[in-house]
Structure 1
Amino acid sequence: MKGQEWYQTDDVAEEYDSKRFSRGGQLIDRREKEAVLDAIGPVDDKSVLEVACGTGRFTAMLADRGADIVGLDISGPMLSQGREKAKSAGVDDHLEFMRGDAARLPFPDDHFDTVVAMRFFHLADTPASFLAEMRRVSKHQVFFDTFNRFSLRSLYNWALPMGSRLYSRWEVDRLLDGAGLELAGEAHDFVLPYGFYRKIPNDLASGFRSIDEVVGASPVGDKVASVSYWDTRV
């Protein structure tokens, strides 16, 4: 998987949230959490696995809403940040963080109601095998996001530390067919890519976001969106 060693360094883990979700990145954090909650709905007593949970943004959020959730990641330092976040939020006693490989999920078939993976598939070197594992351990729903090939995301892809895998709609459809997943819902957003928002103050980012949403709501919005959210059923 791309970036596996990079994400396992202490300094990257410690600065991950502040670099990505401060300034204009706050808009990204809010929208991503909204997308997850819209897709999976009420989570009271629902069993959830978050694959590649990183610093636990979604893990802690879903635990706070009553989910029975496990956050899995390959990076020990990222998981340490997640545990601190869960402790600060007062939810550390009803979630579990586990170090593991998303290519070989350490759970039996149909173990979770829902499996979520955010900010993961742009790093996946073998996305079909990862998605098949997510489908295997889910008995109902798999939710994930992708960055899109025909978007402004491609313009700064070269500047990322380990590159980024971008997907066309055809590639996503092929992945779903291969994993035996049925598309139940989709959303497409952020004509301006994430990297742009992270570089500017939140107040300024809010103005650009308003313009972004207008373009996104237009007939061409879905075609030029840089990120897509895929809600699928087993």
Structure 2
Amino acid sequence: MKGQEWYQASEVAEEYDEKRFSRGGRLIDRREKAAVLDALGPVEDKRVLEIACGTGRFTVLLAERGADVTGLDISGPMLQEGREKAHRADVADTLSFMRGDAARLPFPDDHFDAVFAMRFFHLADTPVEFLTEMARVSRDQVFFDTFNRFSARSLYNWLLPMGSRLYGDSEARRIVSDAGLQLANAEHDFVVPYGFYRAVPDWVAGPVRRADETLGATGVGRSLATVSYWDARV
């Protein structure tokens, strides 16, 4: 998997949220959280696993809403940031963080009601293998996102620290099928790529985002979207 060593660095973990979700990046954080909450629906007492939980943005959010949630990540420093975030949110006793390999999940079949991964599949060398393992431990739902090949993301992908795996629509649908899942819903967003939002202040990002959403609601906008959210059933 790409980026394993990069994400292990303490300085990367400490700066991760600030670099990605400050300034205009707050709009990205808001949209991603809405995507997860909309897909999972009511989560109180639902058993949920987050793959590649990183600094616990979603893990803590779901714990605050009553989910029985476990966050798994390969990076010790990222998990430490997540634990500190859980303590600040006063949910440290109601969730679990664990270090592990997403290709070999240490859980029995059908153990969770839902399993999801955000910002993970762009790093995956063998996406079907990872998605199949996610499906194995879920009794109902698997949710994930991808970055799209035929979008503005491809224009600067080579500048990123470890690059990204980009997916065409048909490829993403194929890995869902190959993992034994049935696609329930797909949404596509952000014609303007994430890198732009992170680089500009709120007063610039806000109007651009409103225009982005308007364009994204059209057929042309959906075809140019940089990000897709895939909601599948076991």
Q: Find the aligned partners of 2:187 and 2:64 in 1 and give their Cα distance.
A: 25
* Cα deviation 1:76-121 (Å, max 9, x = unaligned): 0000000000110111110000000001001011000000100000
Matching residue's letter, 1:123: L
Alignment partner, residue 90 of structure 2: 90
Q: Is the partner of 1:220 in helix, strand or coil?
A: helix
Q: Find the aligned partners of 2:11 and 2:153 in 1 and give their Cα distance.
A: 25
Q: Find the aligned partners of 1:220 and 1:182 in 2 and give their Cα distance.
A: 26
Matching residue's letter, 1:158: W
Q: Find the aligned partners of 1:36 and 1:203 in 2 and give their Cα distance.
A: 26
Q: Is the partner of 2:219 in helix, strand or coil?
A: coil
Q: Is the partner of 2:153 in helix, strand or coil?
A: helix
Matching residue's letter, 2:207: G
Q: Find the aligned partners of 1:219 and 1:14 in 2 and give their Cα distance.
A: 39
Q: Find the aligned partners of 1:78 and 1:177 in 2 and give their Cα distance.
A: 31
Q: Find the aligned partners of 1:109 and 1:178 in 2 and give their Cα distance.
A: 18
Is 1:212 matched up with 2:212?
A: yes
Give the structure-1-normalised TM-score.
0.99
Q: Find the aligned partners of 2:63 and 2:108 in 1 and give their Cα distance.
A: 22
Alignment partner, residue 153 of structure 2: 153
* Shift of residue 219, structure 1, vs aligned partner: 2.1
Matching residue's letter, 1:15: E
Unaligned 5+ runs, structure 2: none
Percentage of pairs with the same residue: 72
Q: Find the aligned partners of 2:41 and 2:212 in 1 and give their Cα distance.
A: 26
Q: Is the partner of 1:188 in helix, strand or coil?
A: strand
RMSD, aligned α-carbons = 0.5
Runs of 4 or more consecutive aligned structure 1 residues displaced over 6 Å after TM superposition? none
Q: Is the partner of 2:146 in helix, strand or coil?
A: strand
Is 1:66 matched up with 2:55?
A: no
Q: Find the aligned partners of 1:207 and 1:3 in 2 and give their Cα distance.
A: 33
Q: Find the aligned partners of 1:144 and 1:92 in 2 and give their Cα distance.
A: 25
Matching residue's letter, 1:93: D
1:181-220 alignment runs, 5 A limit: 181-220=181-220
Alignment partner, residue 168 of structure 2: 168
Q: Find the aligned partners of 1:28 and 1:2 in 2 and give their Cα distance.
A: 22
* Cα deviation 1:22-59 (Å, max 9, x = unaligned): 00000000000000000010001000000000000000
Q: How many residues align?
A: 234
* Cα deviation 1:128-152 (Å, max 9, x = unaligned): 1000100000000000000000000
Q: Find the aligned partners of 2:170 and 2:30 in 1 and give their Cα distance.
A: 28
* Shift of residue 170, structure 1, vs aligned partner: 1.0
Q: Is the partner of 2:96 in helix, strand or coil?
A: strand
Give the structure-2-normalised TM-score.
0.99
* Shift of residue 194, structure 1, vs aligned partner: 0.3
Deviates more, 1:137-146 or 1:178-187: 178-187
Alignment partner, residue 138 of structure 1: 138
